[in-house]
Structure 1
Amino acid sequence: MAVVPRLYGTVRPPCSPRSASHRRGSTLTTFRDLGILTETAEALEAVGITSPFPIQEMTLPVALSGSDVIGQAKTGTGKTLGFGLPLLERVTVPADVEAGRARPDQLTDAPQALVVVPTRELCQQVTNDLQTAGKVRNVRVLAIYGGRAYEPQVEALKKGVDIIVGTPGRLLDLAGQKKLNLGHVRALVLDEADEMLDLGFLPDVERIMSMLPAKRQTMLFSATMPGAVIGLARRYMSQPTHIRATSPDGEGQTVANITQHIFRAHSMDKPELVSRILQADGRGLSMIFCRTKRTAADIAEQLATRGFASGAVHGDLGQGAREQALRAFRNGKVDVLVCTDVAARGIDVDDVTHVINYQSPEDEKTYLHRIGRTGRAGKSGTAITLVDWDDIPRWKLINKALDLPFDEPEETYSTSAHLYELLGIPTGTKGVLPRAERTRAGLGAEAVEDLGETGGRGRKASVPAPAVKEERAPRTPRQRRR
């Protein structure tokens, strides 16, 4: 991949001696070569991560120097570690004092770094990645998001935390209650800023940024850069370096190693069609995207009836049920996850081989983020989009915006020969999974965690107390006059 760095402003940010020696382009092959701390490199190597992706290789030397950064790359190319590793280097923990890199008076229990994300699922994923990379140094990372009880999050803040990853709403709630002190934050990251724009979070983000110290490092990472996000960067960032990672195979916005299929399908035939696609050769973990919560719940239920190990993630579920389905999906107890676009970002699961758009996405950005759940980190994947007759005009706009060759999707049914041939579905496959192939434990094998959820949704049903029979006086028979 070729990476094009570009500067906003006329003066290149000063580079520290530490970062100047790392500008060697393609000769950098490991994270150790990029100059990260030895303990961080050990933590990554313990989980098999040794070599950086292009966005990481270009971002780290600039971010480690303390400069503001705008990172732009296709989804699934490793942006999280691109900003996560510099964050870990910015915080001071007891391990740094023991190693002689810091003084004891630099330690604090207040958050030293903040990551703002648009969705709960992305919050969990970023938190897990930072905890993995900071394990050897014992960096305390806390996820703060809605749908969970306040009390455990407040208790964790009282004990002390180094990095906070949170959604705008809950961050503002805790900061407004004086439970969250943002006065010691040295580094801020806005992840998936374009999604925060789409969800209407930008005013909340600006309020959060007004609570932070003026002198700080700010990094903004996103797959797309609309004008409002660029305007935000100009207002709150100081001469940011814009790093854009593009692929050498062309200027297209979709990842080259994702095979895309677009079919015109009838809505009444879609359950049968999807059931056959899920029995294709080599099919691993799969995600099915729907536009509405009702459709997602209905399809998950239908697939379970047909013998597939399926789970659902959508806005009508409580946080406990959503996390149950995600854990089951990551652990392999469920291999089909049916979700709305709430999960189009933030779910980074290995070995997702197929993404199925059960309903056409709203726009090209949604399409990119949906299919970006597969073909991640250099792996290959398959994306199938089922377009209703009524959705053809919408699809044509998406096709034109992304310059794709699918302007006229082929009419396809669950019995179409070309469907079996293109996707490698064995001849004779029916719409029900054979009993011999039902080897997954299923959603029920994953326990639902009691999160003390707010709002009453997703709570465990309370067991009713046994009824007590009361003695009543005998009733006098009714007298009726004829």
Structure 2
Amino acid sequence: MTLPVALAGTDVIGQAKTGTGKTLGFGLPLLESVTVPADVEAGRAAPEQLTDAPQALVVVPTRELCQQVTNDLLTAGKARNVRVLPIYGGRAYEPQVEALTRGVDVVVGTPGRLLDLAGQRKLNLSEVRCLVLDEADEMLDLGFLPDVEKIMDLLPAKRQTMLFSATMPGQVIGLARRYMRQPTHIRAAAPDDHGTTVANITQHVFRAHSMDKAEMVARILQAEGRGLAMVFCRTKRTAADVADQLTRRGFAAGSVHGDLGQGAREQALRAFRNGKVDVLVCTDVAARGIDVDGVTHVINYQTPEDEKTYLHRIGRTGRAGATGTAVTLVDWDDIPRWQLINKALVLDFQDPPETYSTSPHLFELLRIPEGTKGTLPRAERTRAGLDAEEVEDLGGPDARRSRRGGGGRQEAQQKGQRDQKDKEKERAPRTPRRRRRTRGGQAVAGGAEGAAEAAAPAAGPETAGEPGEAPATPRTPRRRRRRRGGSGGSGGGGTDGAGAGAAGQAAAGD
């Protein structure tokens, strides 16, 4: 539906469910809009139309989606030898700047790095004829919309703009009205598909206890016909923890989340695509646009934030006409949130059944063999694992963290070892510090030494202390006299005060 309109140069707003081919929907018209040497050789363009500056720009919200869109465009433009360059953070600047200097035809990038290079005058956007905003609603959720507007202000006014997304919030529509000229809104759906979710995905929702979820996931991953699987978590810490638990249970698991370096994230995705890892535990950074063949199961370990996130998560399976299974585990605390999602998507899971790893209906619905335990049998551990995929040295700020896929986990271990050494030092026995109290250069009774002096009051100057020390003599009490008009007065405290008063009276009598 998109190709005839977009090839004519008209602005397009494309809206469709996940897995319906949006990438090539904008990719093919975009590749046709650029002029390459093959066009000059074929007589379709004049030599002066060739340029080394980018002629098309694709803006995407996440690094993983940037890499995937680049690979798709390179595959589609291979026959015409179109130069496509990915630009995103986590990598070194120098290779990207060198590639821009040599010349590129299409740039695919994330907003932050694009603005950075444009501000340094390394990226020339004055020749861009076609702009594509992919997953625009996700850019809105991540707070990238102001950056996208800055990028659009740097582009020529005369250009083709295409905006593609699965959902269209009001702010995205407002962006389209400001920057697009009479766009054609194309909303694609199958004739018999009236629901908001993809019809060929079988959905299951269970109310599960948080301490039993890992056991449930381990048994679901042993279901009949299970291919590649993705497990989604809401937090980075949970994703790392679940990946470690599954690895200990014998599964070939990798993780993708924000605490990992870029090299470790790409290592896990490559291992997942190549089949060395068959379980990918990730946060919502991998819920958008990631297209991997053979994903049969998606498991929501934690309830998603909203209905849009739910749609994109389960959309990683059942792509391009295939079938898939989506399982959502809802904790007791998340029931109100799930009921809002259920109502927004008009689903039939208002009150999920209480389910445990031993529940018979779990085995029956997901076709898990009877007697399956939470550990993968050794005979079925045939995958090479994450360590079989090498980590690429990207040279960026995260390069040190991405060694061996450890990422932030290695740094945490090193920090823990340093903390342990500090605690051992603190626990070591300390020699108490001895203080000597003095006044006017003379030792004063008090503390440990004062006690020793009190114990031996009769010691003479020869035995009072070590050579070079002040003699520890007992302190003479200071006597105070109260005077009134130059004469001694009566009063005072204690014995000294009484004596001083008597002396004053005697002086008055005389």
TM range (shorter): 0.7 to 0.9
- Secondary structure in structure 2 of the residue aligned to 1:454: coil
**1:265 maps to which of 191, 194, 208:** 208
Aligned to 1:263, the other structure's residue is in SS state: strand
Q: Is the 8 A contact 2:234 2:284 kept in 1?
A: yes
Contact 1:119/1:346, CA 8 A, preserved across alignment: no
Matched ranges for 1:54-65 at <5 A = 58-65=1-8
Q: In 1, are the aligned partners of 2:2 and 2:186 still within 8 Å (CA)?
A: yes
Shift of 1:456: 6.1
Question: Is 1:431 aligned to residue 377 of structure 2?
Answer: no
Q: Say if 2:75 is the partner of 1:132.
A: yes
Amino acid at match of 1:421: E
Contact 1:255/1:375 (<8 A) preserved: yes
Does the 8 A contact of 1:286 with 1:335 survive in 2? yes
Q: Offset at 1:346?
A: 2.7
Task: Map 1:14-413 onto structure 2 (within 5 A).
Answer: 58-413=1-356
State the SS of the aligned residue for 1:377.
Answer: coil
Instruction: State the SS of the aligned residue for 1:379.
Output: coil
Contact 2:90 2:396 in 1 (8 A): yes
- Letter paired with 2:174: G
Per-residue CA distance 1:193-213 (angstroms, 9 max, x = gap): 000000010000000000000
3-state SS in 2 of match to 1:173: helix
Q: State the alpha-carbon separation in 2 of the partners of residues 80 and 250 from structure 1.
A: 21
State the Cα distance separating 1:224 from its structure 2 match. Answer: 0.2
Match of 1:3 in 2: none
Counterpart of 1:333, as a letter, is K
Cα distance in 1 for residues equivalent to 2:85 and 2:321:
29
The structure that has the greater radius of gyration is 2
Return the letter of the residue paired with 1:223.
Answer: A
Question: Would you say 1:447 and 2:447 are equivalent positions?
Answer: no
Distance 1:99 1:353 in 2: 44
Once the 2 structures are TM-superposed, how far is the Cα of residue 453 of structure 1 from its aligned partner?
1.8
8 Å CA contact 2:91–2:396 kept in 1: the answer is yes
Aligned residues of 1:123 and 1:346 also touching (Cα < 8 A): no
In the TM superposition, structure 1's runs of 4+ consecutive aligned residues that sit over 4 Å from their partners are none
Letter in 2 for 1:93: V
The letter of the residue matching 1:297 is A
Letter of the 2:208 partner, please give it. Answer: A
Deviation at 1:460, TM superposition (A): 3.8
What SS does structure 1 have at the residue aligned with 2:240?
A: helix
Aligned-residue offset at 1:252: 1.2
> What SS does structure 1 have at the residue aligned with 2:329?
strand
CA distance in 2, matches of 1:451, 1:270: 36
**Displacement of 1:249 after TM fit?**
2.4
Contact persistence 1:453–1:459 (CA under 8 A): no
CA distance, structure 2, for counterparts of residue 327 and residue 335 of structure 1: 11
Give the 3-state SS of the residue equivalent to 2:401 in structure 1: coil
Q: TM-score, normalised by structure 2?
A: 0.79
Aligned residues: 408
Match of 1:55 in 2: none
8 Å contact 2:262–2:399 — kept in the other structure? no
In the TM superposition, residue 458 of structure 1 has moved relative to its aligned partner by 2.0
Q: Secondary structure at the match of 2:185?
A: strand
User: Partner letter of residue 122 of structure 2?
Assistant: K
Residue 72 of structure 1 contacts residue 221 of structure 1 at CA under 8 Å; is this kept in 2? yes
Q: 1:316 to 1:457 in 2, by over 3 A?
A: farther
Determine the C-alpha separation between the residues in 2 that align with 1:159 and 1:386: 50
| Native 8 Å contact 2:263 2:399 kept in 1 | no
The alpha-carbon deviation at position 316 of structure 1 amounts to 0.1
SS at match of 1:411: coil
Matched position secondary structure for 1:458:
helix
TM-score normalised by the chain length of structure 1 = 0.83
- C-alpha deviations, 1:277-334, integer Å up to 9, x for none? 0000000000000000000000000000000000000000000000000000000000
Deviation digits for residues 160-208 of structure 1 (CA, Å, limit 9, x no counterpart) = 0000000000000000000000000000000000000000100000000
- Percent of pairs with identical residues: 83
In 2, are the aligned partners of 1:258 and 1:375 still within 8 Å (CA)? yes
Unpaired runs of 5+ in structure 2?
405-409, 411-433, 435-464, 467-510
Does the 8 Å CA contact 2:262/2:402 hold for their aligned counterparts?
Answer: no
Give secondary structure in 1 for the equivalent of 2:101: helix
Partners of 1:235 and 1:246 in 2: CA distance: 27
Shift of 1:150: 0.4
Instruction: Please tell me the residue identity of whatever aligns with 1:388.
Output: D
Q: Say which structure, 1 or 2, has more relative contact order (CA 8 Å, 6+ apart).
A: 1
